[in-house]
Structure formats: structure tokens, C-alpha cells
Amino acid sequence: MDKLLIEGGARLSGEVAISGAKNAALPILCAALLTAEPVTFTNVPQLKDIGTLLALLGQMGVKVERAGDTVTLYASGLNNPVAPYEMVKTMRASILVLGPLVARCGEARVSLPGGCAIGARPVDQHIKGLQAMGAEVRVEHGYVHATVPRLKGARLFTDMVTVTGTENLMMAAALADGETVIENAAREPEVVDLANCLVAMGAQISGAGSDVIRIRGVDRLHGATHRIMPDRIETGTYLCAAAVTGGSVCLTGTSSCYLDAVIDKLMDAGCEVVSERDAISLSAPARLNAVSLRTAPYPAFPTDMQAQFMAINCVANGVAMIRETIFENRFMHAVELQRLGADIRIDGNTAVVQGVARLEGATVMATDLRASASLVVAGLVAEGETTIERIYHLDRGYERLEDKLAALGAKVRRLT
């Protein structure tokens, strides 16, 4: 099993390109199930989760062509609307095939998903929405089994803001009979990117990016070409890596318009941030100021950046309070950061981080995708060598991480 070895103390500087967004690419790839015509996607990141999803689509009868960051999907031969457990057990986003399969085939059998162990992320909102649209849904033997002659438009209200739930129901509604209104919809940029892709395929959608989305179902969707948005979480992670090392970097192929809450916190920490149309530059002081934060659905501070900010607070001046409101088990990285010498106290969904003068390298273990990133950020500033085990989590969400960090001057290498 691969490990990452980091020798801390190098100041990051230089320029690096940001990849396409994993959290946008996964639902958008699933949207290809909605049409028999070929759909081409560009700026698709080369990640483990992307490979898993493409393999899953392939076993359903979808023809997959991949060249670099371009993927073309032909779902004209879709003949097996089943997502088996052995293929989806490592990836929670696999539930995103449910809505498109039911809408296009009238049937789907999808294993309850796996993924990171960061807390309960129930699929009941997906099921409730499909039932309101006329589907018969049963959960049996670990699978969600849904059938319907044709989905019908409905007024849907989700009990909680759910990104994948909003995406699943939006895709299902694109081919439903009549109008569907999704209230309390997720407002994330990735939802907007999916809506833009669906509109390019012929869907009639308005309101994406707000908490009420309206979808007028059409009889069929057609092929299209769509470019995946830049990964705002990868962007934020590299900004944190530069900040913690007192560095100065320019990230290209990305935009600050998705990252207002993150950039505000970096500026509060003492960083200078300059945003251009498709690039972000950051210059950091020798030592950061501690910044408190509270995670919440977009446009508030993203839960996927909480762990990285905990890492930079570990060596900042002062005390920070971090409150996690999205996932109940998302402080598992705190124990590993403590192994590096961090001063962190956990009380329920609140972490109190007292900055220390220095961290010391040690062997740590990644527990989930973003926790892995926090350990990388901490390892970059820790004295001596830090070894991060179980980095398959990192490979699920960060493309060529060690290569990009090395291009910025980090001393990092993969051990196989």
C-alpha cells in the first residue's frame, strides 16, 4: 500500500494548474446515462473515484472513451441498470446513477454506497423524492430497487440540504412528465455545473444556484460537450499548503468566485490574496494568525476545507474554535495531528486549537479524503519527516498531488 513521505520546512513558491472538480465530474458523468447520444466531457480529473465510476458505467453497457482529460460516453447500449456492491463500496457518489437510470430505463438497482467514514449521509432524501415522482422504491438486501413506467413532475422538499440528493433528483426530473420543483435545494457550484451540462443536453432548468430549482421535463436529451469546472477544494487545499509554509504561489485554471468564505479566512489569517479571471495568487506571512470558523452549506464555509484549516491553525498565533455542523465524525484527523504535536481539544462538534511553535514529523494515518489533505498540509511545516499511510484516500480526490507539490518546492515523494 502506498505511503507519502514529506520532509517539512520547505517554503512553497511557484505556479501550479488546478484540475477539474471531482465533485462536479461525478454527477456530470452520470448525466450521460440520460441520453442515447454521445456526450463529451473535458477537464475531467484523473482520479481513483473517476476511474471507479467509469468502470461502473462500462458494466452497465456504456461505451467509454478516455484520452487525457477528455471522456466521451456512449450510453446507447445501456442494458444493465445495476450498480453492484463490489463496484461501489468505496465510493458514496455511486448513488448518483439512481436518478438517471430510473428516468431513462424505468428501473434501477443500486447498492447502498460506501465511501469515507465521516458520518451518516443517508440516501432517504433521494428515495423520498423519487417516490414523490411516482417511483416504487424498495430497499432490500443492501440495494435500492426503483421502478416506474415514467416519472412524473412533483413538488419536492428535502428535509436537509443535500448536494447529491439535489443532483440525483434534478437528473431524474429532466426526463419526467411535467414540472418538478426542488425546494431547499443545495446551492453549491457543482450543482450549477451539472445544471449547465443538462441544459446543454436539452434539459429545461431554472434556479440552479438558489434554494428553489425548477425542471420542466422533456421527452429526450441529446448529446453535448461540456467542460468540468475547476476544483474549488483542491484550490483551497493548495492555498492552505502555501499559507502554512509562509509561501507565495499562483494557482492557474481556477477561480475565486467559488471560494469567498475560504479566501476571507485566509486573509483573516494574514495572507495577501489576489484574484484574477482564471488564477489566484497568495502570499503568506512567516506565521499565520489563528482563525475560527463554522462549517455550513454553500455559500458558507465548506466542510471539505475544515480539516485543512485545522492543520494551519495548529501552528498559527492564538486560539481557534472550529465548529463542524455537517458531518458528526469529521474530527478524526485531530488525533493524527496530535501525533505531530498539535494542541487540539474536542468537545462534541467543536474543536479548540491552540497554536504551537512547531510540529514534529511522525507516522500518521489518513482516515478520509480531506483528513488526508490536512495531514499533508501539517507535514509540509512539521520538522523532520512525516509519513502518511493509507493515501488511497488522497488518490480519490487529488490528481498528481506529489507532483504538483514538488513543482512548488515541497520535498515529497510516494513510497510504493
Q: Which residues are known to be catalytic?
A: 116
C-alpha grid cell, residue 254: 481556477
Residues in Cβ contact with 183 at an 8 Å cutoff, skipping those fewer than 6 apart: 155, 156, 157, 158, 211, 212
| Residue among 75, 135, 77, 85 nearest 110 (CA) | 85
Edge-first strand order for the sheet with 343-347 is 293-294, 319-323, 350-354, 343-347
Query: Any bridge partners for residue 144, and if so which?
Result: 110, 139
**Cell numbers that stand for 367 in this block:** 482516515
Q: How far apart are CA 199 and CA 193, in angstroms?
A: 10
Residue 313 has phi, psi (to 5 degrees) of -70, -25
